[in-house]
Structures are given as structure tokens and as C-alpha cells.
Amino acid sequence: MAKSDVKAPAKEAKNVPDSDKAVKTVAKADMAIADKLVQLYRLQHIDSQIDRIRIQRGELPLEVQDLEDEVAGLETRLKKLQDELGEIEAQVSDRQNQIKDAKAQIKKYEAQQAKVRNNREYDSLTKEIEFQNLEIQLAEKRIKEAKAQIEAKKSVVDESQKLLEERRKDLELKKQELDDIVAETEKEEKALQKKSDAAAKSIEERLLSAYNRIRGNARNSLAVVAVERGSCGGCFNAIPPQRQLDIASHKKIIVCEHCGRILVDDYVVERVKSEA
Ligand SMILES: [Zn+2]
């Protein structure tokens, strides 16, 4: 490859008619730069397709991660609700035992009453029995309250369980979708990477390293952009009319004053698009 941007390799001169020597000289230079720009824009075009695939694939693991987090959160919540339910149920069974004990006590006191010798002892036992009956009533009241709580909690547990099942299904589907897309796009990406490698090989080293450097620094990984409605297609800053003419004349490679991206005109864009 020629070192200077304005000199064309000899083989490219074949494109120029031999009849007009003046035109030939100019056209030689024109074709050289135009061809270099086409090579660069072609590489950008391929690499942008690879970028798109990677971005598209990149978002899916995030969606899976979000769902995994949500499922984990729901599982924790459900576990907490079930623990709370278990506590209330344990309280009910405690109260039921209390009632059993109180009833046993009452039986014992009643048996003692049959054997007492004076009223004072009898009255004292009567008071104990009354006290145990009050305890039973209180325990029954608490059981009733706890059962209402259990009912309410159970419906919340049911809802949470349903939601969890739905999210687990969503997660399954998303994972499957991810696997499918990864398999599908990996093939496509490999084919594009081959094209990219081939396209890069035809570009002279100095330009290729500039391309890689600009692409590495640029947002959206764009190193070569088209002039669109008088503005840079990379940073959207206006390009002065004289500079636009310079770009279209293909006499040298021109970069955007604002973002440093390599600029190409419609002629280059159309040539690359017509290849597809
Ligand atoms: Zn720019």
C-alpha cells in the first residue's frame, strides 16, 4: 500500500481510461482515497452489525438477572409469611393446651370440693374454679382472634405463592429465550467476524490502527460515519460547507473537527450499501 493518502497503488489505475492523462492523474488519486474510505466504511458497517448483536444479546442476561432477583425476593417473603403463620398456629395450640390444663384443674378442684369439711375451703375451691373458667374464656377468645389472623395470612401466602409460580415460569421462558438467541446469534456473529477480519486485511495498517483507536474511544463504537444533512453522523455537529466539499472530493481522509471520527460522503455509503 502507498504511504501517502494521495498516491494510489498501480493496480488501481486500471479503473481509469488511458485516453485522458490529466483526468487519469486526478482520478488515480480520487480512486485511491475513495477506495480507502470504502474499505474503512465497509469494515465499520460490518463491525456495527456485530455490535448490534452483542448489545441485543447483552440485555437478555440482565433481564434474566432481574427476574432471578425478583424470584429470590418473593421466596424470602413467602418464607417469612409461612414462619409467621407457623407462629400463630403454635400460639393456637398453646392456648388449646391451656384450656386442657384448666379443664383438668377444674375437675381436680371439683373432686376436692366433694371431700372438703368446711365452707371456707369450699369457697376457696369455687374461686379457683371460677378463675380457671375465666382463663378458658380468655384462651378461647385469643384462639378465635388467632384463627382470623391465620385466615388472613393464608390468603396472603396463597397470593404470594401464585405470584412466585408466575415469576418462576417467566424466568424459565426468559432463560430459554436467552439460550436460543445466544445459539442463533453466535453463528451470525462468527460469520460477521470472518467478514470483518477479511475487510480489515485489505486496509493499510496505519489506517486500521487509527480506525481501531477511534472506535475504541467513541461512544457507539463508530469510527467512520457518514455526513448526514451537513452534520457529522457521529457527534451531530455541523460541518462547514468547504469541509463538506473536501470530504466529497476524496483527496484526503478527513476527520470530524469535533469528535475525530472519519467522515465519508454519500458516494462511499452507497458503494458499501450496494455490496450487501
Ligand atoms: Zn463528529
Task: Report the pLDDT averaged over residues 156-174.
Answer: 95
Distance 167 CA to ligand 1 centre (A): 45
Q: pLDDT digit string (tens) for 6-40?
A: 333 344 344 444 444 444 444 444 458 999 999 99
CA distance 119 to 124: 8
Q: What is the model's pTM?
A: 0.57
Check whether 46 has a pLDDT greater than 60: yes
pLDDT of res. 4:
41
Task: Compute the mean pLDDT over every residue in the chain, rounded to the nearest whole number.
Answer: 89
Q: Which residues line ion ligand 1, judged by CB < 5 Å?
A: 232, 234-235, 256, 258-259
Distance 275 CA to ligand 1 centre (A): 26
Nearest to 230 by CA among 222, 240, 220, 221: 240
The CATH code of domain 17-203 reads 1.10.287.1490
Distance 155 CA to ligand 1 centre (A): 60
Could you give phi then psi for residue 118, rounded to 5 degrees?
Answer: -135, 165
Q: pLDDT digit string (tens) for 206-234?
A: 999 999 999 999 988 999 999 999 999 99
Q: Give the number of other CB atoms < 10 A from CB of residue 262.
A: 24
pLDDT of res. 16:
42
Answer with the residue of higher pLDDT: 256 or 20.
256
| C-alpha cell of residue 137 | 374464656
CA distance 81 to 87: 10
